[in-house]
């Protein structure tokens, strides 16, 4: 009896050890499976993005070796006609986007100018509002105000762009025309402010998170030296959070460049190269959305629209890259390494 009683705990310990080892093996298998799924999904997402860029580039590249025989429609699509002005026998040369014509004209300057005008208006309108709102809710507002304001602003990101475009078209355009007395209701200013409303949540969220990430010890040290809350916010917290704030502005700029529906509805869609903000404009993204569904597959107009997609990608990539490099330099400078 004594030997059997002593052997029973050993048997139970062996069973428990075997069960524990089995659970560990099952956990390792589950972890390996989960890691494989995550890696597969990540590589699939990257592959899809690469394939999209390859497809867009493949459709635009035939412009490089197109047939330019006399009388062929593609002779109007040359790199000089895309970049330079259109010449006329009886009037000065000017930049024209007129793809539906006896002699189609595919000059890109009006579209680039329109894109820059609306995007700059959007950032100049949304940037200060979003950053100041982030400073207010992070540094000065009571906690309950921050808990109400922050989710409310972030909910604006969920509003469909077509709703914002409709608001800019029907309400904002009328207000601006009555206040400023402009001739055209739909112009770069109206479209830019509509874009600004769309990018405010992005800039605000990133900037507020950057301000909240500044260590509390920075504020306490400033208060201990006799600084006020305003001085602490302006001289300590904002410079420390500057890389994050600039990253938010860069993200907002990229979002405004690629926005389609708002500028399609509120910009007037006139391909002009004039600089006044009260003139109608036409952007790269709005041109693609408005014209791609009505072009001949494989024709010159079709290829040029895909070229616009390539330019739009390169432009947003350059902006994001410049923003990332600037943020990195700011972090190094604020960290004392440069």
pLDDT at position 3 over 70: no
* Neighbouring C-beta atoms of residue 228, cutoff 10 Å: 10
Higher pLDDT, 42 or 2: 42
Which among 199-203, 213-217, 234-238 has the top mean pLDDT? 199-203
Closest listed residue to residue 134, CA positions, set 87, 78, 200, 204: 204
pTM of the model: 0.81
Please tell me the number of Cα atoms within 13 Å of 184 on its side-chain side. 17
pLDDT computed for residue 263 by the predictor: 92
Q: Are 189 and 117 in contact (CB under 8 A)?
A: no
pLDDT exceeds 50 at position 163:
yes
DSSP string across 287-319: HHHHHGGGSPTTSHHHHHHHHHHHHHHHHHHHH
The mean-pLDDT minimum among 162-166, 168-172, 273-277, 285-289 falls in 273-277
In order, the DSSP letters of 63-118 are GGG----TT-GGGG--HHHHHSPBP-SSS--B--EE-SSSS-EE--HHHHHHHHHH
More confident residue, 18 or 249: 249
| CATH of the structural domain 105-334, one choice from 3.40.640.10, 1.10.3720.10, 1.10.620.20, 1.10.8.60 | 1.10.3720.10
What percentage of the chain has pLDDT greater than the value 70? 89
Q: What ranges do the domains of the chain cover?
A: 2-63, 105-334
pLDDT for residue 65 = 66
């Amino acid at each position: 009896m004594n030997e059997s009683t002593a052997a029973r705990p050993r048997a139970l310990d062996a069973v428990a050890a075997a069960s524990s080892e089995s659970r560990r093996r099952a956990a390792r298998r589950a972890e390996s499976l989960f890691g494989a799924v995550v890696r597969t999904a990540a590589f699939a997402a990257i592959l899809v993005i690469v394939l999209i860029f390859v497809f867009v580039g493949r459709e635009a590249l035939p412009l490089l070796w197109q047939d330019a025989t006399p009388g062929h429609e593609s002779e109007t699509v040359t790199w000089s006609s895309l970049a330079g002005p259109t010449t006329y026998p009886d009037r000065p040369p000017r930049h024209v986007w007129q793809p539906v014509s006896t002699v189609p004209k595919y000059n890109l300057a009006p579209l680039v100018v329109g894109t820059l005008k609306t995007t700059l208006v959007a950032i100049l309108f949304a940037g200060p509002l979003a950053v100041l709102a982030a400073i207010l809710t992070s540094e000065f507002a009571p906690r309950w105000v921050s808990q109400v304001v922050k989710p409310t602003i972030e909910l604006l990101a969920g509003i469909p762009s077509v709703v914002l475009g409709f608001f800019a078209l029907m309400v904002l355009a009328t207000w601006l025309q009555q206040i400023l007395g402009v001739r055209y209701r739909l112009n770069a200013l109206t479209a830019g402010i509509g874009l600004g409303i769309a990018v405010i949540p992005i800039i605000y969220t990133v900037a507020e998170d950057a301000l909240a990430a500044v260590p509390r010890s920075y504020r306490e040290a400033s208060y201990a030296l006799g600084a006020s809350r305003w001085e602490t916010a302006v001289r300590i917290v904002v410079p420390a959070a500057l890389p994050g704030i600039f990253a938010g502005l860069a993200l907002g700029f990229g979002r405004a460049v690629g926005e389609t529906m708002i500028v399609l509805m509120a910009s007037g869609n006139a391909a002009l190269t004039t600089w006044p903000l009260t003139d109608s404009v036409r952007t790269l993204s709005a041109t693609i959305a408005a014209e791609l569904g009505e072009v001949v597959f494989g024709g010159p107009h079709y290829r040029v629209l895909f070229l616009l997609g390539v330019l739009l990608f390169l432009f947003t990539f350059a902006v994001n890259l410049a923003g990332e490099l600037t943020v990195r330099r700011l972090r190094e400078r604020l960290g004392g390494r440069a």
